[in-house]
Amino acid sequence: MTQESHRKSSKMGKGDPKKPRGKMSSYAFFVQTCREEHKKKHPDASVNFSEFSKKCSERWKTMSSKEKGKFEDMAKADKLRYEKEMKNYVPPKGETKKKFKDPNAPKRPPSAFFLFCSEFRPKIKGEHPGLSIGDVAKKLGEMWNNTAADDKQPYEKKAAKLKEKYEKDIAAYRAKGKVDAGKKVVAKAEKSKKKKEEEEDEDEDEEDEDDEEEEEEEDEDDDDDE
Domain chopping of the chain, boundaries: 18-93
pTM for this one? 0.39
| Interatomic CA distance for residues 2 and 7, integer angstroms | 9
Chain mean pLDDT for the chain: 78
- 106 contact partners, CB below 8 Å, separation of at least 6: 166, 169, 170, 173
**Amino acid occupying residue 179:** V
Nearest CA to 174 out of 110, 105, 109 is that of 105
| Interatomic CA distance for residues 2 and 73, integer angstroms | 46
Tell me which of 1.20.1250.20, 3.40.630.190, 3.30.70.1710, 1.10.30.10 is the CATH number of domain 18-93: 1.10.30.10
In this structure, how many other beta carbons lie within 10 angstroms of the beta carbon of residue 149?
Answer: 7
The pLDDT value given to residue 3: 43
pLDDT-above-70 percentage for the chain: 69
| Residue 91 · residue 19 · CB < 8 Å | yes
| Residue 155 · residue 144 · CB < 8 Å | no
- 161 contact partners, CB below 8 Å, separation of at least 6: none
The pLDDT value given to residue 13: 41
Q: Is the pLDDT of residue 225 over 80?
A: no
119-153 tens-digit pLDDT = 988 888 888 878 788 888 888 898 999 989 899 99
1-48 tens-digit pLDDT = 444 444 444 444 456 778 888 889 999 999 889 888 888 888 887 777
148-162 tens-digit pLDDT = 989 999 999 999 999
Rg (CA), the chain: 33
State the chain's maximal CA–CA distance in angstroms.
Answer: 119
| Interatomic CA distance for residues 16 and 62, integer angstroms | 39
How wide is the angle at C-alpha 183 spanned by C-alphas 177 and 184, nearest 5°?
90
| Interatomic CA distance for residues 172 and 97, integer angstroms | 26
CA 140 to chain centre: 29
